[in-house]
Every structure is written in C-alpha cells, then in structure tokens.
Amino acid sequence: MVNNNIVVRADINVVRREVRVRVINRLGYGQSMILHCQSSLDDIGSVVVEDGREMEWIISGNEVVGIPLFHCDMKPSGSSDWYSFNAYDQERDHARCRSECRWMFPNNGALFGYDQRFARWVWFPLRLT
C-alpha cells in the first residue's frame, strides 16, 4: 500500500519593512505650503509646512504584501492650484528609497526626490489636480 499523504510545513519569516517619508519645503520667500497625504489605509490629514521646514512620517509593510501607495496633494500658499505626487510607490521606490523617501519642493516650482542608490536628487513630474 502506497501512502500518498504528504505533509509540508513551511515557516514563513515575514520581514517587516519601514520607510521614513520626508517632504521638505524650500519654496523660499517665506512661502508655506499645505500638504495632504494618504494611503488606502491611513490619512495623515492636511498640514501646513512652513518655508525651510519639513514634514515626515513612517510607513510600513512587509516583504509579502509590500508597502501601500502613499499619495500627496500640495498647495503653495497664495495659490489656488493643487499639485499631486506619489510620495511612496513600491514599484518605483523599492530600491530608490531603501530606508527613506525624501522629497523637496525648491523655489523653481519643481519636485525633486532623493535616490539613495546613487546619492543624488532626481526631478519628478508634478501633476496639477
């Protein structure tokens, strides 16, 4: 008689991953900005980030399900326009943001993200919402 019952035991060691997201206001001339960021799981609300200051938070996930997309909307003071960008997108940022995703709004209306792999700032497009 052949026993076809096979028992397989698998211990999955799920590695937790955290990424610090930091958004830096370098708009200059004392210009603050309103920043509203959220994922499908968390909404950190709207925060006024003064010129020269920054806002940061920690997002987490694991190697199995990943870290959820974090989306932000930004409005410079004195403007009626809102701009949007993805502060963390696992597909794009898994290697670029190993432990920290830094974003900077300089005074030229652009958005730059820091690439930890190559230790340099990279231009990213902003979307007008």
In this structure, CATH architecture of domain 17-128: Sandwich (2.60)
Helix, coil or strand: residue 92 = helix
Task: Give the pair of three-digit tokens for residue 61.
Answer: 């996930």
Q: Note the pLDDT tens digit of each residue in 58-102.
A: 999 877 778 899 999 999 999 999 999 999 999 999 899 989 999
Tell me if 86 sits within 8 A of 127, measured CB to CB. Answer: no
Question: pTM for the complete prediction?
Answer: 0.85
Question: Quick one: pLDDT at residue 56?
Answer: 96
Residue 103 has pLDDT above 70, yes or no: yes
